[in-house]
Every structure is written in structure tokens, then in C-alpha cells.
Structure 1
């Protein structure tokens, strides 16, 4: 697959992962713990989990094809567990 296509796909996954994390933290969790409506956590949590796995796999694939240093891979993976982190990783490394 072309490097540009891989980067574009990773950016999409990265953005969706970041948004799903924010929705989980700012919408679903308050619904569960304040208003006792746990349904959103299940739905958003599952979507976020799938996107998180795709993000990690994509980061490793980019590590391979872009010849990143291990430190760059570590930072991009670390960004996946921080709110807004994937946005930083996109701007800094892609």
C-alpha cells in the first residue's frame, strides 16, 4: 500500500480514536455515573476499544514503513492514552 494512503488512513483512525475517547470521558461516563445510564459506556467503549487497537496497529505499521525511531513509536503510542494526544501525534509525526 502507498505510504500516503497509509498515513491518510492512520490520520482518520487517529482522529476517530481521539473523538471516541473524548465522548467516552465527557458524555458516556457522566451518563453512567451521574444519571445511572450505563448503555452509552458499552457502545462508545466498544467503539473506542476497536479504534484504540487499530491505532496501535497503525502506529506500529507506520513505525515500520516510515523508519521511525523506537522513541517516536513510544510517544505516538503514549499519545493514544491521553485525551487529545492523537491530535498531537498527528501534527508532530505525520
Structure 2
């Protein structure tokens, strides 16, 4: 199922995007509203690891299927936008699958 580079990228994009949403909409309110800063520490660390893995997956896909600069820069840019990976995933699925 996740044997193709595009499907591996889509999975990593989903996981990285989900970790960003958890960080922004669950961990940050827990820190600032309830006063539980450890939530950001743990979720932020996990998000950081997933972000590095996401960048590595982008590099792998770029070399494996010769992604253009537009695809690479778009993949990196959407990682900083909440729900960006979900929107980008629809474009990737439409164009590459």
C-alpha cells in the first residue's frame, strides 16, 4: 500500500500535518489556558521529529521520481500552514495517482 514514493510522502504529510494540528489546537491551549506546559514539550518534540522525517521524505521523493522545484517548494511551504498538508494531498493525489 505504501510502497510507492508518492504514497509514502502522502502518509508522512498526513502524520506531520496531524502533529501540527495537535500542537496548535490541543497542546498550545493546554499550555496557555490550563497551565500545562509539558503538553507543548512532548507534542512539540514529536512534531519536530515528524517534520524532519517529512523533509527527508520530500528529498527521497524528489530524487526517486524527479519532482520539480514547484512540487518541492510547495510541499515544504504547506508544512507551515494548518490544514495545508490535507489540501496539498488532494493535489498530489490528483496529479500523481
Same fold (TM over 0.5): yes
Deviations 1:18-44 (A, max 9, x none): 111101000100110111101110111
Counterpart of 1:76? 75
* 2:34 match: secondary structure: coil
Root-mean-square deviation (Å)? 1.6
What CA distance in whole angstroms lies between the structure 1 residues aligned with 2:3 and 2:33?
45
Q: 1:59·1:76 contact (CA, 8 Å) conserved in 2?
A: yes
1:11 lines up with 2:10 in the alignment: yes
Q: 1:3·1:65 contact (CA, 8 Å) conserved in 2?
A: no
Query: How far 1:3 moved relative to its partner?
Result: 6.0
Counterpart of 1:56? 55
Counterpart of 1:21? 20
Counterpart of 2:66? 67
1:30 lines up with 2:29 in the alignment: yes
Q: 1:13·1:55 contact (CA, 8 Å) conserved in 2?
A: yes
* 1:83 match: secondary structure: coil
- In the superposition, the TM-score normalised over structure 2's length comes to 0.85
Structure 2, gaps ≥5 residues long: none
Query: How far 1:71 moved relative to its partner?
Result: 1.4
**Across the two proteins, how many residue pairs are aligned to each other?**
92
